[in-house]
Amino acid sequence: MKRPDQKNLLGVLVLVGVLLFGLTSALAQSDVIPWESWAAVDLRLLDDDNTGSTFAMSAVEGIPALRIAPSGSSEETKLAYPVSGSDLLAWRDHGRIRLDVFLPEAEALQVNAFFLGLGDVTRGWSWVGGVFGEASGDAGWVAVTFILDAALRETDPDGSYMMYLSFFHEGSGGKVPLTEPIYVAGIQLIADSVSAAGDSGAEVRYRQEIDALLTMDDDAFVDAIARQTFDFFWLESNPQTGLVKDRSTPDSVSSIASTGFGLASIPLAIDRGWIDAEAGYARVRATLQTFLSGGVQGERGFFYHFVDMATGERVWNSEVSSIDTALLVAGALVAGSYFADTEVQTLADRLYENVEWDWMLAGGDLIRMGWRPESGFLGAKWDHFDESLLLYVLAIGSPTHPIPAYSWDLWDRPVRFGGEYIYLPGEPLFVYQYPLAFLDLRGLEDAYAHYWNNAVRACERSRQFARDHSDRVQTYQHGVWGISASDGPTGYRAYGASEANHDGTVAPYASTACLPFTPDLALEGMRALLRQFGGRVWREYGFVSAINADAEWYSRDHIGIDQGDILLMIANHQDGFVWEQFMANPPIQTALGVMGFVESVGEYAVTPAYLSAAAVR
């Protein structure tokens, strides 16, 4: 509803943010400016967007504020008001908007979701885009920060737009109507480029974060990195469908593997107190419902590797992927275990049970890498040591569509360096890490290897490889290491610690995810990256995907599967959180049993019997 008796009263709010809050730790005062269009808005033009909200000027704790009263019956409490394209020009040079909001302490049902959207009304109406905000608290005066994406920053200066602010509470059963008023004071724009040195506000923030990290003890250091890494999964996802971006670019598609890591990350975030439990449960539930209701394209329980963030439809002619489906299911099982005896556990179990693992054998004994409707099964099979360890555990343990346990014995397991460990030629580190981000194989071995010790050997060798080449490769100097599949100067490549497979590119996730196996070496590498490369290796969600000092190339992206490897391995290093949840699923224990895993106290990576057999091949 509109208030015809109040006009242009928001001018008193423009400096409220400066009065209420110290600026964020990373920004100088000149980095934050009031948004003048908010100060000049005519209250008579405010609209409720059919939610029944009412508006009035008020004051809280002596601070002038706009009072937004919910209808008590609408799922969302909204405010909408018209802005011109010229009003939005200021957004182009600002990466974030900060909304100063008062949430009453006595409110029984707190707002836990904040949304900012923009519609183009120049000719008719069309949606421009929207982003969810993150609040600095849950009651009293809080700062709600929205990270503006490219669509919101690239509007037509001559156009006409409608800006929407939405507040709601999302519980385990969906959205619940609010009943208590919300108070909005100032709206500030946080600039991208304002410092005297020519650095962006974001760059200043990154440097200050790095300075703070390097003063922390090891426990606080890894915890802070984990916290910032998690934000990728919470903010770079579709909150309605739960689909997570493949990477942090505005136009990124969704990766089902990234979504799987996201599912595993949410219970961790709840456990660490980073997000509200109800909001986390709701996000997991929505994600699983999306996959189970046909909201993501797939075949026989498997899903396409890459899908559209909004529609869930296949993109890029991608394959129905067996390994990426396995990572999705693994994340779902972590969430299901954490939310035991709830609908989420039921949905997670259904997702697992729906996968026809035996179909992906294509009539053979080994799992195919994928399938396309145009050409059928891919010729490539998961037939040798690599990350498919996780895939085989899930497939053999399936309660509905298991594959024979002997498929596991058909793997090729090459041994190198005098029986030191089983390896994958090319030596990318991720193949040792991904399966053990979920599987806790400490103190276990099968007929071939002690896979925990195997990963220790691989991490140690990767570090030594970088050290041995540091006289010729600039990136590897000063303790920096970690070579694995990643972005690089010429595109994405499965880099590894081998002579023919490296060019000086280092992936920060690779050394970080060795934390459980070689904690001292991992911490050395993580700190070295920050000391040597600073803001070139650290951005919005923590470590970037990769760097190459020799080529003077530094990625600005964060990749979902890298973020997941970092986050889950930090958690396992801290207290085994992900391992505990994943291993609590009975089918996993069943699979390990029939695959021949037994307790072991051996310090070897390759079992003596297999080493002897491999030696005579």
Q: Which of 142, 170, 202 is the last residue in one of the domains?
A: 202
End-to-end CA distance of the chain: 81
Neighbours of 63 (CB within 10 A): 18
Question: What was the pLDDT predicted at 40?
Answer: 64
Enter the tokens of residue 220.
């606080």
Neighbours of 32 (CB within 10 A): 22
Residue among 226, 254, 220 at smallest CA distance from 239: 254
> Same structural domain for residues 112 and 183?
yes
> Same structural domain for residues 177 and 311?
no
> Same structural domain for residues 356 and 421?
yes
Beta strands in 3-125, from DSSP E residues, in sequence order: 32-34, 54-60, 63-69, 77-84, 94-103, 113-120
Q: Are 320 and 370 in contact (CB under 8 A)?
A: yes
Cα(96)–Cα(101) distance, rounded to whole angstroms? Answer: 16
Question: What was the pLDDT predicted at 150?
Answer: 76
In 3-state terms, what secondary structure has residue 290?
helix
Q: Are 296 and 311 in contact (CB under 8 A)?
A: no
Residue 507 lies in a domain: yes
The three-state (H, E, C) secondary structure of 209-241, written as one string: HHHHHHHCCHHHHHHHHHHHHHHHHHHCECCCC
> Same structural domain for residues 239 and 317?
yes
> Same structural domain for residues 198 and 222?
no
Residue 1 lies in a domain: no
Q: What is the CATH number of the domain that holds 117?
A: 2.60.120
Question: What was the pLDDT predicted at 5?
Answer: 36
485 phi-psi bin (left φ>0, alpha ψ -120 to 50, beta other) = beta
Enter the tokens of residue 195.
């410092």
Residue 197 lies in a domain: yes
Domain that holds residue 83: 10-202
> Same structural domain for residues 164 and 248?
no
Q: Which of 151, 178, 202 is the last residue in one of the domains?
A: 202
> Same structural domain for residues 462 and 578?
yes
Question: What was the pLDDT predicted at 7?
Answer: 35
Cα(455)–Cα(421) distance, rounded to whole angstroms? Answer: 8
> Same structural domain for residues 125 and 243?
no
Question: What was the pLDDT predicted at 14?
Answer: 34
In the chain, what is the greatest distance between 2 CA atoms, to the nearest angstrom? 92
Burial of residue 474 (CB within 10 Å: 0-12, 13-18, 19+) is: middle
> Same structural domain for residues 439 and 345?
yes
Query: Which residue's entry shows tokens 């307790």?
Result: 599
Q: Which of 202, 228, 248 is the last residue in one of the domains?
A: 202
> Same structural domain for residues 198 and 261?
no
Domain count, the chain: 2
pLDDT digits (tens, 9 = 90+) for 380-423: 999 999 999 999 999 999 999 999 999 999 999 999 877 789 99
For 217, residues 6+ apart whose C-beta sits below 8 A from its C-beta are none
> Same structural domain for residues 112 and 249?
no
Length of the chain: 617
Q: Are 430 and 565 in contact (CB under 8 A)?
A: yes
Residue 518 lies in a domain: yes
For the chain, what percentages of helix, strand and coil (3-state, to nearest 5) are there?
A: 40, 20, 40
Residue 253 lies in a domain: yes
Residue 45 lies in a domain: yes
In this prediction, the residues of the chain whose per-residue pLDDT falls under 70 are: 1-32, 39-41, 62, 105-108, 137, 172, 191-201, 616-617
pTM of the model: 0.72
Residue 209 lies in a domain: no
Residue 474 lies in a domain: yes
> Same structural domain for residues 197 and 230?
no
Residue among 312, 404, 305, 322 at smallest CA distance from 360: 322
Question: What was the pLDDT predicted at 610?
Answer: 94
Q: How far is CA 515 from CA 455, 512, 520, in A?
A: 11, 6, 8
DSSP states of 124-184: S-EEEEEEEEEES-SSEEEEEEEE--HHHHS--TT-EEEEEEEEEEEETTEEE---S-EEE
Question: What was the pLDDT predicted at 192?
Answer: 55
Q: What is the CATH number of the domain that holds 552?
A: 1.50.10.140
